[in-house]
Structure 1
Amino acid sequence: MTCQSSESTETLESDRDRDRRANANAVESDESTIAVAMKDLKNTGWYWGSLTANEAKEILQDASEGTFLVRDSSQRDYLFTISAMTSAGPTNLRIEYKHGKFKLDSVVLVKPKLKQFTSVVHLVEHYVQLSRASDKAAAAAAAAAAAVAVASNSQPNGTVQLLLTRPVYTATPALQHLCRIAINRQTRRVQELPLPNRLKDYLTDYTYHV
């Protein structure tokens, strides 16, 4: 017969309580991060929600290389997917979420080299900026950083060259939104602009360049 001291029992219960609190805090943090990511995505105009892979393929079928949209992933382990037109045709690039960060899913050797972001829109913005690089030095950097072999569930060898240049909008975006993007490309100091506070609030509600 064995017995356990009350002190040991209290220690075990304390450890369990701490673990439960840590798990609860992690879940709450994830929910908050994902909620903000969803809010930003819905403001973009190029987030298509529960669009299927086949529907995305039809939309992109006659588009130029680099045309893209973001939709909900049809795979349970992923939240979002980028559907894009590549040199090999329409393909789907999964977005991985882990520990409060979003990054492109990738083949094992490339995965550690890919940047992580707290926002899906920031992730897309990063690769759009690299893809749009015009000068040779920037283009070479883009080729090294953005044209990586990322996981693709629609290519025979599992890899595809990433190029994102032009989003497909669900509807014609409002002129105010296009102006907001143009202003964001020119300055990060919105609060210093000679504008009414209401307009400043609108500008800071979406701070991205795409």
Structure 2
Amino acid sequence: MVAHGAVEDTSGTSADRRAPPPRPENRTHFRSFKSESDFKAIVETTLMLEESGFYWGPMTVEEAHHKLRKEPVGTFLIRDSQQKDVFFTLSYRALMGPNSIRINFQNSCFSLTGSKETFKNLFHLLEHYSSTGKKTLQRPYRKQRVRSLQELCRKRIIETSGAQAIDELPVNPVVKDFLRSFPYRL
């Protein structure tokens, strides 16, 4: 039997060898999680971000600002943060030009750097800043500019009925699952 991390020698003895260092593409800048619930929250958030179409993953601030430079004021995207202790960054087109702000995740809540308002869900944060009087965020900058008819219908159903009404809708379970896959007005 070979211990974990040891390599069996062909001469019948075990030689303790360290595993090779992780390859650069397998490294992560994310910190360790304080709890399993925090881990699950970030995993669920990332899955929903992938579904949203406005999550760009690893991207530098310069790349994000270049994409948003000619977009209308209020256009936004989410990208991975380049800061070691932050998961995501919100980049948006402000009146004076593109801007970026860190999205903090502490005590199982999301907030923007400098804000005292916290949200249990990143999408509630985004909906809040897209519906406040300032309307800082107005439209997501998606990877695919043309949305499918299904996505447009889902958005309209969520806008008119709300996510809480999905179970009451007179549609089959497959459609309900599709509506639940991204139940936000963004």
TM-score, normalising length from structure 1?
Answer: 0.68
How much is the aligned-residue C-alpha RMSD, in angstroms?
1.8
Residues 1-34 of structure 1: CA deviation (Å, up to 9, x unaligned):
xxxxxxxxxxxxxxxxxxxxxxx99421110111
User: 1:193 & 1:27 partners in 2: Cα distance?
Assistant: 36
Hey, which of these two has a bigger chunk of helix by percent?
A: 1
Q: 1:57-206 maps to which residues of 2 (within 5 A)?
A: 57-106=65-114, 111-112=115-116, 115-130=117-132, 142-143=133-134, 163-171=136-144, 172-188=146-162, 189-206=165-182
TM-score, normalising length from structure 2?
Answer: 0.76
Higher RCO (CA < 8 A, seq sep 6+): 1
Listed as ranges, the gaps of 5+ residues in structure 2 are: 1-31
Residues 148-195 of structure 1: CA deviation (Å, up to 9, x unaligned):
xxxxxxxxxxxxxxx110111111332211211110011131222221
Residues 24-60 of structure 1: CA deviation (Å, up to 9, x unaligned):
9942111011111111111111111111111111111
Runs of at least 4 residues of structure 1 off by over 4 A? none
Q: Give the deviation of 1:84 after TM superposition.
A: 0.7
User: 1:175 & 1:45 partners in 2: Cα distance?
Assistant: 14
Matching residue within 45, 48, 54 for 1:37: 45
Hey, which of these two has a bigger chunk of strand by percent?
A: 2
User: 1:173 & 1:104 partners in 2: Cα distance?
Assistant: 28
Residues 71-107 of structure 1: CA deviation (Å, up to 9, x unaligned):
011111211111111111111011001010000011x
Does the aligned pair in 2 maintain the 1:83–1:90 contact within 8 Å?
yes
User: 1:51 & 1:70 partners in 2: Cα distance?
Assistant: 9
Does the aligned pair in 2 maintain the 1:95–1:105 contact within 8 Å?
yes
Partner of 1:160: none
